[in-house]
Every structure is written in structure tokens, then in C-alpha cells.
Chains A and B, each alone.
Chain A
């Protein structure tokens, strides 16, 4: 009997030791793939990194080609989409958590917002094309692109904002209500200050996603080759992922290298944004608690 127990415990011990290795395989696979890609991109693109890459317009000559119009297009559309999306998401989240009550409609809405976050981005592009570009007559403009990206990121950011509000201790909510605060006051004085750092982090994650989107913008803008700066919200535009797509699809090696350099710029932009999210959250959290 005692022998039996000894045996099983040995097997258990072995499994216990092996488990971390088995489980970490997934992590290793992901990290290795990303690392491989980054090494590949950096080694083929780093010598193409130059100020000209950001200041030159697109060109048929790889030595003169740059990202200028695409970079500006990305900044304008994504920046504008964030300005539209983040306040809307916060308002939606506050409505669904505090104002709409706990009825059937509210739970249906909540469930479907989570579903929307999983809809392929090309669908949003098609909706944007039909509704914004043609329906509202915005044309293939920056503002149409910005609204499309805003609608695309809205569910994602809203879900994060709802989670952020749910992390606020119920004690504080009820404490404020017990003092005679209205729903609006509870939202403004108790929920929002506490949830804001996490909400903004969610907003920046939404921006990060919008920056990398090529498909919906391809549908909206349709343009891959622009040689002028956008000056108004109703100007035509292109974005970085589209420019990169254009370069990759060309046969010359030089353009492939340019594409790699462009990817490095895009990655740096994303890393910068994520770093900003962390710093922002850290600062705000420290100030509030």
C-alpha cells in the first residue's frame, strides 16, 4: 500500500516539474516568431532608415521614395479617430454600467458590444464606404477614414472602459450614493477619476490597433500613391500600412527594403504609444491614490 502511494507521488512530482516546460512552449513559440520577424525586418531595413524616409513623398525611384503622405495620413486619421472614439467609449461605458439599469436591453447591448469587438475590420471598412463615403457624401476623405477607425475601435475601447469602471470598489459608489449624490455625480466624482487611468490605457491600445489597420482604410481611401500633404479633413489620404503594402508588392529589392524600414517606423510608433500608456497610467494612478 505504502509502495503504491510512493509511486504515484513520484509520477506527480515528475509531471509537476515537466509542466512549466510544456506550458512555456507556447510562450517560447510566440516570442521566437516575433523575434525572428523583428530580426529579419531590422536586418533588411535598417540601412534604409533616414530622415528622408519621413520627409519624401512616394516615388517610383526607391532612392527618393518616402512615407511622408502616408505618415501624415496615419497621424491625422488615427489622431482624429482617437478624439472621436475615446470620449464616446467612456460615455457608452458609463451609460451601460451606471445609467441604463440592469434590464434586458442593457445586457443585450453589453453582450453585443463585446461581439462587435470581434468583427473583421474589413466589414467596418465596407460600412464606412457605404455610409460615410457615399451615404453622407464625405468622399474618400480623412474624416471618413477617421470615423471608420473610430467605429472600429469603439467596441474594443468601450469593453476596456466597462472593465475599468467595474474595478472601482462598490463601497465607494454606494458611499457616494448614500450621501445623496446623483448618478451623474457618482460617475463624475467617483467612477471616472478612479477608472480614468485604465480607460486611457484602453484608448491607447485602441489607437495602436487603428494604426496597424490596412484593410478598412484600403476600402475607404483606395489610394496607394499620393504626392501631397493633406491640408483639410476632406482631402484624400493614405496611411502607412497601405504604403508598406504598396512597397512590398513591387518586384524591386530596394522597395522591399524600404518596406522593412517602414515597418521599423511603425513598430517604433507602436512601442512609443504603449510606453506612453504605461507612463500615463502610472502617473495618474499615483496622483489619485
Chain B
């Protein structure tokens, strides 16, 4: 009787429906995610959860679709011509690809920092205030100043720029610019922060500062960082997901788990090879 009921549930898709439901421990949860550029799939069958107030590193060789995965989470793929997203992405148990969800709101709640620092050609202050202004957050002059300051403090940039908030963002060094971009994202107080190889263009000291600040803010945010740098993933993250292209070049999730386990005791041979520098 029970067996029959179970078989029925499998046949009607009820089971996969239940399995695809995210649990509450995940802020972001992807289920059977597949992205196509034109007719060519870039990633396929990615089912992955990201836990609240942790840092998850997504690692893998070039072209395995790490950035593609990241762009699904705040619907930035919508802006890429020819990109099509299949499967589900849940944010606080809500499917962000369901028709009634506004991608603008998704991006307001899920911030993103890019590979190369991309401050706007305006003052340091206006850069940080930009997100607050475009999202129509009404603040008094002092309130706005306070929010900008808080964001800059969190991004470990306040001490360096507090006397020149009106200076053009272009006068900052590369590392400072990247921290400004982090501050800019934090100012709108998102729940999730996505970072797409945020330190590739930076020197080791700037990289260290950014890693430090990420560890400092993880109590308030859920952070997902794509990185090429194995040491960085090991240093900064709590959890690690490994993506690897299959024979036809489609990125697939091959392993996920606590960072310590992935690095010391990988279950998949490919992960081990990749971590030891044999692939990629």
C-alpha cells in the first residue's frame, strides 16, 4: 500500500517536486539549473544551496560556467543577448524566475561585484549613494551620509577616504576602487553578495584586504564568491562548490561541501586533480 503510494508519487512528479523544494537553511538554492547561450548549453543540472551567513566559493577551470552560475542568481543573464535560463533559482524560497518577480528587485536584494573594479565616473560619495538613489530610498541628508559611511566602514575603505568623499572615484587605486564597489553594493543592504573573481586584477595586499573584509561582514550577509585562486577559496570560504566542464564542454557541478573537506579529502578524482593543479 505504502509502496504503491510511493510509486504513484514518483510517477506523478510529486517526489521531484518535493525534492526541488529548498529547505530553510539555504538563502539561495538552485535546482536543475541550466543556462543556454543560443542553443549551446553553458551549465547544466546545477543543484546547489547556499547557506545563510556563510561564504561559499565556486571554483573550477576557465569556461566551466562559474560566472554564468553567478549571473543566474541575480538575473544578470537577462541582460545577455541570447541567454536562456531553465530550471529554478530560489531566493528565500521564492522562485526568482517566476513571471511576477521583477528582476530589478532581485538585483536590489542580491548585490554583485565584478572582476574589474567598475566605479561610476562620479565622486566617491555619489558612487556609494547611487544604489540608494536609484532604488528610491528616501533618506535625510544626515541619514544618507550615515548609510554611506556605514557601507564604507564595512568595506574597510572609510579611513582612507573619509577626508575626500567628494573626490572623483577615478583617483583611487585599483584595490580601493574594488572596495568602493563592494561598499556601493553593501550600501543598499542586500541579503546576498555575489563576487565574480573580485581580486583577479589586484595585487596581493589589496587581495588580502578584500578577503579580510569579507570575513568581517559574513555575519550580516550571505556571500558567494567565484574564484580562480585555490588558496583564496581555502582561506576565505566556509563551503566550496566545484564546477567542471564535461566532455562536450558543459559546466557541471561535480562536488560540494565544507571547504575543509573539499580541500583535504575530495571525493571526486577531478576535484583532487584540479586542486593539485593538474587541470585548468
Which single residue of chain B is at the shortest CB-CB distance from A180?
A: B108
Q: Which residues in chain B, 63-100, are within 8 Å of chain A measured between CB atoms?
A: 74, 76, 79, 81-82
A32 to chain B, nearest CB (A): 43
Per the bound structure, the CA–CA distance linking A194 and B121 in Å amounts to: 9
Known: A102-B82, A189-B130, A289-B170. A179 touches B111 (CB 8 A): yes
Task: List A159-208 residues whose CB lies under 8 Å from chain B.
Answer: 169, 171-182, 185, 189-190, 193-194
Closest beta carbon of chain A to B39's beta carbon, Å: 15
**Residues in chain A near residue B74, CB distance under 8 A:** 178
A288 interface hit (Cβ, 8 Å): yes
Q: Is B107 an interface position by the 8 A CB rule?
A: yes
With A172-B118, A176-B130, A189-B134: A181-B112 Cβ-Cβ less than 8 Å = no
Q: Nearest CB to that of B103 among chain A residues?
A: A177
Min CB gap B82→A, angstroms: 7
Assess whether B79 is in contact with A177, with CB atoms less than 8 Å apart. yes
Q: Would you call B118 and A169 a contact (CB within 8 A)? A: yes
Question: Do A102 and B111 touch across chains, with their CB atoms under 8 A apart?
Answer: no
Interface bits A245-289 vs B (CB < 8 Å: 1, else 0): 000000000000000000000000000000000000000000011
Question: Which of A102, A173, A176, A193 is the one whose CB lies under 8 Å from B81?
Answer: A102
Among B81, B114, B120, the residue within 8 A (CB) of A190 is B120
Min CB–CB distance B195 → chain A (angstroms) = 11
| Contact status of A172 and B107, CB under 8 A, knowing A102-B82, A189-B134 | no
Q: Are A288 and B130 in contact (CB under 8 A)?
A: no
Interface residues of B, count at CB 8 A: 26
B118 touches A179 (CB 8 A): no
Q: Which residues of B contact A171 (CB under 8 A)?
A: 114, 116, 118
State the Cβ distance, A161 to closest chain B Cβ, in Å. Answer: 19
- A179-B131 contact in complex given A102-B82, A174-B79, A289-B121, C-beta closer than 8 Å: yes
Which residues from 245 to 280 on chain B have a C-beta closer than 8 Å to any C-beta of chain A?
none
Residue among A172, A175, A288 with the most chain B CB within 10 A? A175
A residues less than 8 Å from B107 (CB atoms): 177-180
Q: Is the CB of B131 within 8 A of A180?
A: yes
Q: Kindly state whether residue B188 has any CB partner on chain A within 8 Å.
A: yes
A180 touches B114 (CB 8 A): no
A94 to chain B, nearest CB (A): 15
* Residues of A contacting B111 in the complex (Cβ-Cβ under 8 angstroms): 178-179
B135 cross-chain contacts in A, Cβ below 8 A: 179-180
A176, B120: Cα distance in complex, Å: 8
Residues of chain B at the chain A interface (Cβ within 8 Å): 74, 76, 79, 81-82, 104-105, 107-108, 111-112, 114, 116, 118-121, 130-131, 134-135, 170, 181, 184-185, 188
- By a beta-carbon cutoff of 8 Å, the part of chain A in contact with chain B is 102, 169, 171-182, 185, 189-190, 193-194, 288-289
Provide a sorted-by-A list of 25 A–B residue pairs whose CB atoms are within 8 angstroms: A102-B82, A171-B118, A172-B120, A172-B121, A174-B118, A175-B114, A175-B181, A175-B184, A178-B74, A178-B114, A178-B185, A179-B108, A179-B130, A179-B134, A179-B185, A179-B188, A180-B107, A180-B108, A180-B188, A181-B104, A181-B134, A182-B104, A189-B134, A288-B121, A289-B170
A174-B114, A189-B130, A194-B121 known; 17 new pairs, CB 8 Å cut-off, are: A175-B114, A175-B181, A176-B120, A176-B130, A178-B76, A178-B107, A178-B112, A178-B114, A179-B107, A179-B130, A179-B131, A179-B188, A180-B105, A181-B131, A181-B134, A190-B120, A193-B121
